[in-house]
Chains A and B, each alone.
Chain A
Amino acid sequence: MADKASGLVQGTLDMLILKTLELQPMHGYGIAMRIEQISKGVFQVNPGSLFPAFRRLERAGWLASEWRGTENNRRAKYYALTGLGRKQLKGETREWARQAAAIARILEAES
């Protein structure tokens, strides 16, 4: 299947993951599902991008991870936002809003 997420700007996936984890810790599949649901299927996140992104964010110190039992009695790795990650998300959100507004202005001016 087509990887719609691959069309994302580099770094956008990171932001989406951080945002998803803002409310509560989640495991990998949960995060993927959540992004898909909230974007109403616009973004279908490929595990091939998702897991390397987890690793990257963890190494950057924005995510922490922990093994926990799942609802169906298995073990899964849960990711949670760290303080640093929260700060990063805030910064990225602000920057995104700024850029999106700027792009919108440009597009409106053209039409």
Chain B
Amino acid sequence: MALVKNLLAGLRGLLRKERVEREMDEELGEFLAAATKEKMRGGMSREEAARAARIEMGGVEAVKEKMRAASWESRIEAVWSDLRFGARLLRLNPVFAGAAILSLALGIGANTAIFQLLDAVRLRTLPVKNAQEIARVAIDHRDGASGNFSTRYPDLTYAIWEQIRAQQQGFSGAFAWGPNQFNVAPGGEVHNVQGLWVSGEFFSTLGVEPVLGRLLSAGDDQPGCGASGVVISYSLWQREYGGERSVLGRTLTVNRHPFAIIGVAPADFYGVEVGRYFDVAVPICAEPMISGEYSQLKSRSGWWLSVMGRLKPGWSVERAAAQLRAISPGLFEATLPPEFNAGNAKHFLQYKLGAFPADSGLSDLRKDYEKPLWLLLALAGLVLLIASANLANLMLARASAREKEMAMRMAVGASRGRLIRQLLAESLLLAGIGAALGALLARNLSHVLVASLSTQHDPLFVELGTDWRVLGFTTTLAVLTCILFGLAPALRATNVAPGLALKESGRGTTEGRSRFALRRILVVSQIALSFTLLVGALLFSRSLNNLAGLDAGFRQSGILVTDIDFTTLNLANEGRVAFSNDLLRRVRAIPGMDAAAIAEIVPLSGNGINHDILLGESGEPEADAPVATFNRVSPGFFETLQTRLLSGRDFDEHDAAKAPNVAIVNETFAKKFAKGANPVGMKFRVRSLGTVSTPCEVVGLVKDTKYGELREDFQPIVYTAIAQFDHADTDAQILMRSNAPLLKVMAAVKSTANEVNPNMDISFFTFHKMIEDGLLRDRLMARLSGFFGLLAVLLAVIGLYGVISYMVARRRNEIAIRVALGAGRESIVKLVMREAGALLVVGLVIGTVLALAGGKAAASMLFGLKPWDVATFAMALVLLALVAVAASLLPAARAARSDPMEALRQE
């Protein structure tokens, strides 16, 4: 009660200040009047009495001040007035304030943006209730796995999932899911959306409630279900159906199969994969129908599902894992793919299931970007540090200008604490405004960052909320920077002996060493840190250059890829080859087409095939045979990609189904399997799981090309003739090289395909763009670290310039005397440059040590160079030294030009 009264009275004091002041005056006035009257009664004259009473009171203002001090609101008022005073000072120096706020906003903004991204992909938990109960079930150490791997999380096969569902005991519910892209266009050009295969338990186990209709349940996921119902995401509902309730029961075509929409998922539910989203969830039981002959569900060696579960109350992840481990031997025995050979089976039967915490979901984004983001956060932190050092330097300069003011105020009785508080208020104001602007900036920056990581084929979705972690982070940054740049100058400014400071006029002399030391330390650390950042920037941009300039063994630009899917035509195997060949012939006839070929695997697309190589034509195959990567191509593939044929011949139309099997191999294959000799003429067989092919003769040797990604070493590649493959695809992936405009080629391909049959699905992408997208992370690192490096150097150079200018100004008299005594301009420049050089050298030495220590963190992200790359260090050294020297030459030259008489006359 008393507390509430105190609070209310305090608020009254704050809000109705005038009235409270008036009452105070009145009360004291009444006291004086009464005292005067009393004294007059004692015999004094009116004037005497009034005077005596006032003396007794001892100054009305002083009493009022004491009364004010007895209340808590007075402290708030003091802070408020400090802030107002600070704001007034900043308004008087708009250039300083602007520069300070801008550099803080940039620094804090960049840090916050990166942290926000980290928070979203790393720190936050899944948007489902009790996320800490969610765990992932997967094989612990799955070495030597064989089979067909698809989707981003090919943890398990369908057969294994069925066994887990039946035998697990640690989870109150378990579900299987897998990401996929679904074509929702009813026909013609493909319109892919992000999709999920989900088992019937998916939504109920996660505890997700529909916003409309109902979600998929166990009843919807019955084997052999066909085209039943699908659930769409909230965003698809808004995007494609305008949020209309009539969407329920409407038809959505999924890969040409009509499905009924049975419900809409809530807006905040993006699935269990952080960084991605889904538009449509399809029951797993519909997979055989949708994927047709490529169905993974029926194949025991098809790895395409990920399994998660919700732990039962009282069960820990470890306990659930132990139970899964216990059932593993029987489980893998029961799900052994019959097509496995002895070697594959041996690995398979030794697998053990495990359970892993998955409260923050799954994310390949996290795997790829967590480390780069932490590194970028560190770089951004360094930039902020440099900016703070710069500000500290500016504040120090201002502090020394206000030295006399401080001395005066201390002489009239201000306490040091009071002055420090006031100086800090100014810093706090700067940090606060900077942080607020930075937070605004961060919201845009983080979206730009996500957008720059997103590609057409691989769209990302990151929920970039501002949660308590982000807010806390930004606030901490603001307070830290404020202390960093504000406290030292405040302490320094108030550490004056008033008498001395007031006595000292502009006379004198050279600035005391100790008072100047702090600024030198600041500049040295700025140079050191900016050198570190510059080295980082150069390392990443050179790494990117190495990757982009790499000879991958094929042409990258001017190649368009189209995929023409004719599944709907239901052709038999022989018909497909003829159909593809016909399509290829027609595409080649398009005007302006230089070359075209069909390929199963587009290099660097991330897709791949590998099989065992059995050298020779016969013999019992050994269990562990060497492995090579494969691609099935049509004649003209090497010409289209301009990969040089070194020996032998390309495939031709005679290499057809009935003809002897032929292959073309690359240099690495020749090195590995023919000991470097010309492999043309050699024979080998191919083993895929349990089946061994008939012998295959090498007819050509081509130059090495990259297969899976640019960073890898060259792998042995076997090209086989696509016409000789006995399970021909129901689509033709055609690579086209043409100088004609892209859109024109695309239109021509579409009309060509339509002439053949209008009922096909067509999609396009450019080879070059696909490769560029593969370098996204490298480009991001190069760009951002480059930006940070530039910013850092700029700030450091400004800092150096400021300190040297300041030194020159402080030593003006000394320099004037030297000139007057006959020192040459040159020696003055030398004097100043010696000072700058010392700072630079010390900074660079420390910077080199820092860069070497920090380089380790970047090592795994670099391509073609080591983090201690000498050339890079030399480049950074020269670059920084040049700008630093230029920045200090300016004040040096000014000092040398100055007229000594003018400087001395001012004394």
Count of chain A to chain B residue pairs whose CB atoms are closer than 8 Å in the complex: 75
Total A residues in contact with B, Cβ cutoff 8 Å: 28
With a CB–CB cut-off of 8 A, which chain A residues contact B57?
Answer: 46-48
With a CB–CB cut-off of 8 A, which chain A residues contact B38?
Answer: 29, 33
Given contacts A55-B71, A59-B6, A77-B23, contact A47 B30 (CB under 8 A): no
Chain A positions within 8 Å of B, measured between CB atoms, are 1, 27-30, 32-33, 46-48, 51-56, 58-61, 67, 70, 72, 74-77, 84
Query: Counting CB contacts under 8 A, is B313 at the interface?
Result: no
Instruction: Find out whether the CB atom of A61 lies under 8 angstroms from the CB atom of B58.
Output: no
Instruction: Find out whether the CB atom of B35 lies under 8 angstroms from the CB atom of A51.
Output: no
Total B residues in contact with A, Cβ cutoff 8 Å: 29
Given contacts A58-B9, A61-B2, contact A75 B70 (CB under 8 A): no
Instruction: Find out whether the CB atom of A28 lies under 8 angstroms from the CB atom of B70.
Output: no
Instruction: Find out whether the CB atom of B2 lies under 8 angstroms from the CB atom of A60.
Output: yes
With a CB–CB cut-off of 8 A, which chain A residues contact B71?
Answer: 55, 59
Query: Counting CB contacts under 8 A, is B374 at the interface?
Result: no
Name the residue of chain B whose CB is nearest to the CB of A53: B70
Instruction: Find out whether the CB atom of B33 lies under 8 angstroms from the CB atom of A59.
Output: no
Least Cβ–Cβ distance between B410 and chain A, in angstroms: 25
With a CB–CB cut-off of 8 A, which chain B residues contact A58?
Answer: 9
Instruction: Find out whether the CB atom of A48 lies under 8 angstroms from the CB atom of B63.
Output: yes
Chain B positions within 8 Å of A, measured between CB atoms, are 1-2, 5-6, 9-10, 23, 26-28, 30-31, 33-35, 37-38, 55-59, 62-63, 66-67, 69-71
With a CB–CB cut-off of 8 A, which chain A residues contact B1?
Answer: 61
Instruction: Find out whether the CB atom of B58 lies under 8 angstroms from the CB atom of A48.
Output: yes
Interface residue from A53, A61, A75 paired with B30 (Cβ < 8 Å): A75
Instruction: Find out whether the CB atom of B28 lies under 8 angstroms from the CB atom of A75.
Output: no
**Cα of A19 to Cα of B26 in the assembled complex, Å:** 25
Q: List 8 A-B contacts (CB under 8 A).
A: A51-B28, A52-B69, A52-B70, A55-B71, A59-B10, A60-B2, A60-B6, A61-B2
Instruction: Find out whether the CB atom of A77 lies under 8 angstroms from the CB atom of B27.
Output: yes
Given contacts A28-B31, A46-B58, A58-B9, contact A51 B26 (CB under 8 A): no
With a CB–CB cut-off of 8 A, which chain A residues contact B58?
Answer: 46-48
With a CB–CB cut-off of 8 A, which chain B residues contact A46?
Answer: 56-58
Name the residue of chain A whose CB is nearest to the CB of B55: A1
Interface residue from B2, B6, B27, B59 paired with A51 (Cβ < 8 Å): B27
Which of A47, A58, A72 has most chain B Cβ within 10 Å?
A47
Given contacts A48-B66, A52-B66, contact A84 B2 (CB under 8 A): yes
With a CB–CB cut-off of 8 A, which chain B residues contact A47?
Answer: 28, 31, 56-58, 63
Name the residue of chain B whose CB is nearest to the CB of A76: B30
Name the residue of chain B whose CB is nearest to the CB of A33: B38
**Cα of A52 to Cα of B57 in the assembled complex, Å:** 12
With a CB–CB cut-off of 8 A, which chain B residues contact A1?
Answer: 55-56
With a CB–CB cut-off of 8 A, which chain B residues contact A76?
Answer: 27, 30, 34
Least Cβ–Cβ distance between A107 and chain B, in angstroms: 33
**Cα of A29 to Cα of B62 in the assembled complex, Å:** 18
**Cα of A54 to Cα of B27 in the assembled complex, Å:** 11
Instruction: Find out whether the CB atom of B30 lies under 8 angstroms from the CB atom of A51.
Output: no
Instruction: Find out whether the CB atom of B30 lies under 8 angstroms from the CB atom of A74.
Output: yes
Name the residue of chain B whose CB is nearest to the CB of A62: B2
**Cα of A61 to Cα of B31 in the assembled complex, Å:** 23
Instruction: Find out whether the CB atom of B30 lies under 8 angstroms from the CB atom of A59.
Output: no
Name the residue of chain B whose CB is nearest to the CB of A29: B34
Instruction: Find out whether the CB atom of A27 lies under 8 angstroms from the CB atom of B30.
Output: yes
Interface residue from A52, A61, A72, A75 paired with B26 (Cβ < 8 Å): A75
**Cα of A29 to Cα of B10 in the assembled complex, Å:** 25
**Cα of A30 to Cα of B1 in the assembled complex, Å:** 29
Name the residue of chain A whose CB is nearest to the CB of B68: A55
Instruction: Find out whether the CB atom of A51 lies under 8 angstroms from the CB atom of B63.
Output: yes
**Cα of A75 to Cα of B62 in the assembled complex, Å:** 23
With a CB–CB cut-off of 8 A, which chain B residues contact A52?
Answer: 63, 66-67, 69-70
**Cα of A84 to Cα of B4 in the assembled complex, Å:** 14
Instruction: Find out whether the CB atom of B56 lies under 8 angstroms from the CB atom of A51.
Output: no
